[in-house]
Amino acid sequence: MNAATPANFRLQRYFSIASGILMLGVVLPLAYAYYYSEMNEHTMLAGVRNEVLARIYANTLWPRYGEFLLRTDIDAETRKTHEINKALDLRIREMSRDASVTKIKVYNLNGIAVYSSVLREIGENKSKNSGFIAASQGRLVNELAHRGTMSATEGEIQNVDVVSTYIPIKLHEQGNVVAVFELYSNVTANVHRIEIVTYQLLFGLVVVFLVLYLSLLRIVAHADRIIQRQYLALKDNESRLQSKTQQLEQEIQERLHVERALRQSEELAAAGSQAKTDFLSGMSHELRTPMNAILGFTQLLDTEPDAPLNESQRRFVKQIMKAGAHLLALIDQALDLSRIEAGKLALSLERVGLKSLIDETLPMVHHLAAQRQIAPITVSVADAEVIADYGRLKQVLLNLLSNAVKYNRVGGSISVTATPDGEMMRIAVTDTGQGIPQQRLEELFQPFNRLGVESASVEGTGIGLALSKRLVEAMGGAIGVETTEGIGSSFWITLPVAPPESSEATDHPAALAISASSQAIEEDPGTGIHGRDRKILYVEDNPANVTLMEELIRRFNNLRLVTAHTAEIGLALAEQERPDLIIMDINLPGIDGFEALAKLQANPKTASIPVMALTANAMPSAIERGLAAGFHSYHTKPIQIDALTRSISQALEETDHGGI
C-alpha cells in the first residue's frame, strides 16, 4: 500500500471489527439459548422423576411410618438412634436400590428434617429455604446446582451436578400438605453431555461465520481500495486548489482553475454520497436474495410431509426462521432510517381515525402478549382524528406496543390512552416493566442503542425508537417517555388534531352525503354513471379510504369496485380486469401515482382508460403537475362527495363516446 495512504480509511479493519461483534452477538446468544433450553428440560425431567419416586415412597411408607415422622416429642438425636428410624432407613434404601436417587430427606411443616438418608442431617432446619416454603404451600420446586463436595446416601461425592426437588405430600388429592419430601438426583452425566454439544454448536456457528466473513472480505477489500484512491485524488485536488489560491491576486486564470477544481471536488463528494445510497440499496437487494432462499428452504424443511423433523430439529429450524425474520426487519428499518436522513421519505398526511387505527394494530401484538401472560391491553381512546400518514402512524404504534410487551414483566399490563392537549392529541402506551434508568434517557432514541439489554433474551435491533422519533417529527409531532425504575414506562407521541370538517359535512354523515349524491345523479337519466354495467379500479393503501369508496360505489347497482393497495398490484389488475375508470392515490408504497400513470399510458391495453387522481397533496404545484401528467381530474382529501361523483360520471360518459 502507498505510504501516503491515510490511516483514516481502513474499511477492512472496520468490517472485521463489525463482523466480530456481529458474530459474538449472534453465536453466543444462540449457543446460550440452546444450553439454557436443554438444562431446563433435563431439570424438569429430573424433577418429574423425583416427584414420581416421592409419591411412591409416600404411598408405601406413610401408612406405617407417618405417625412416627410427625411426632414432635422426639428430638433429633433420639430419632437418629430410634429403631423405627432404622427400619424406615432400611426400607427406603431397599426401595432406592435401582433408582438414581443420591439423597432423600423428609421435613415436617416446621422445616425440621425428621428423616435423612444421611444420618447426621436429621434435625436440619430448612424453614427459611424458599424451595421448602413453596412446597409447604403445595407447589413442586426443582433446583439445579453444582456441588464441589456433597454428602450422599452412600457417602461423600465430589464435583457433582444435582437436581434437588421439594415435593409436597398430601394424604388425599384435595387434602392439606402434611410433610415435604426432598429428593436429590445426580445429573452430572447429562450436564456434561449438554456442555459438549453446546461447544460443538458454538464451533460450527463460528466456522459458518468465518466462511461468510472470508467471502465478503474480498468485496470489502476491493471497496477499500476504491475509497483510498478516491481519497488520494480528493487530497490531490485540494493541494492544487491551495496552490492556485495563493496566486489568485496575480493570475486570474489560476483563480478560474481553482474554481473548476472546487466544482470537481463538490461533484466528487456528491457522487460519493450517491454511491453510499446506491451501495445501501444494492446491499439490501443482495442480502434479501440469499435470505429468501434460506427462509424458503427452511420452511420446506419444517413442513416436509415425507420426512418430518424430530422435535430437536424442529427447534433448530424455528431458530433459523426467527433469526432470518429478525435480519429482514433490521434491513427494512435501516433503509427507512436512511431514507428519512436523506429527506427522501414520502408522507401522505390526511385525517386518520385513532380508534379504528388502534383497533387494527392491537391484534398484531396479541400473540406475543399472550406468550408473556400480559393482561388484555386496555384502551381509552376517544373517537378523534389526527393529521398523519396512516401507514407510518400504524408503524409507530406497533413499535411502541411491541416494546411494551417485550420489555414488560411476565404477567404485567399495558394500556393505551389518547387525550387532547391543546391543538395536539397525546397518545400514550404505558407498561409495567422495569423502567429506564434516568442516566440513560439521553441515549434512548439513538440508532442501534438498546441501553444495555443487548445480551438479554429480548429480541430487538435498536432502530425502532430512532425510526419512530423521525417519523413522528416528520408528521409534525413529538415523542417522549415518562419512566420510573421498577414500576414501568409510558411512551407518548403528540400529533396535530384534525381540524373540524365543514358545516355541511358536520350536518350530514358520510353515508348520508353519499346517499344524497347518488340520489342527485339518479335524477339525471343522461349521466354516464348509469346505464350498462361498469367496473372501477381504486388504488389506495389506506383501509379507511377504501371503505369510504366502497360505500360510495355501493349506491350504484351497475358499478363494481376492484381495489388494490399498491400501484404494482393496480397495474396488474388494470391489464387483467380492463376497468372503465381508474381512481388512484399519488403517495403509494413502492412506485407512486405519477409513475403508475406513465406505465398505464405506455401500455396499449390500458392507455385509453381514464385515470383520476385522489390524494392528500393539495398544493397548487402538485395539482398542476397532476393535470399536466395526464390525469383526467385531480381531487384532494378529504373528498367532496358531489364533486367526486360528478367527475366519475363525466369520465364514464366520455368513455361511452370513445374518448376523454
pLDDT tens-place string over residues 335-370: 666 666 666 666 778 888 898 888 888 888 888 888
pLDDT value of position 429: 93
What number is the average pLDDT over the span 162-181?
83
What number is the average pLDDT over the span 61-87?
85
Question: Torsion angle, CA of 358/361/362/366, rounded to 10 degrees?
Answer: 180
Average pLDDT, the chain: 79
Strands (E), 502-592: 534-539, 559-564, 581-584
Cβ contacts of 485 within 8 Å, gap of 6 or more: 434, 435, 436, 437, 438
**Do 236 and 21 form a contact (C-beta atoms < 8 A)?**
no
**Do 204 and 25 form a contact (C-beta atoms < 8 A)?**
no
**Do 213 and 132 form a contact (C-beta atoms < 8 A)?**
no
What is the distance between the alpha carbons of residues 295 and 324, in angstroms, rounded to a whole number?
Answer: 7
What is the distance between the alpha carbons of residues 191 and 486, in angstroms, rounded to a whole number?
Answer: 35
What is the distance between the alpha carbons of residues 561 and 550, in angstroms, rounded to a whole number?
Answer: 7
Angle between helices 510-522 and 641-656 (to 10 degrees): 40
Neighbours of 14 (CB within 10 A): 12
pLDDT value of position 321: 75
**Do 79 and 87 form a contact (C-beta atoms < 8 A)?**
no
pLDDT value of position 503: 44
Highest mean pLDDT among 36-40, 244-248, 628-632: 628-632
What is the distance between the alpha carbons of residues 179 and 191, in angstroms, rounded to a whole number?
Answer: 30
pLDDT value of position 445: 76
pLDDT value of position 53: 79
Q: Is the pLDDT of residue 562 over 80?
A: yes
pLDDT, tens digit (0-9, with 9 covering 90-100), for 527-539? 445 567 889 999 9
pLDDT value of position 508: 37
**Do 262 and 245 form a contact (C-beta atoms < 8 A)?**
no
pLDDT value of position 479: 93
pLDDT value of position 427: 93
C-alpha to C-alpha distances, 279 to 31, 271, 274, 275, 351, nearest whole angstrom: 33, 12, 8, 6, 36
pLDDT value of position 530: 56
pLDDT value of position 330: 63
Place 103 in a pLDDT band, splitting at 50, 70 and 90: confident
Q: Is the pLDDT of residue 660 over 50?
A: no
**Do 237 and 261 form a contact (C-beta atoms < 8 A)?**
yes
pLDDT value of position 282: 59
Q: Is the pLDDT of residue 167 over 80?
A: yes
pLDDT value of position 339: 63
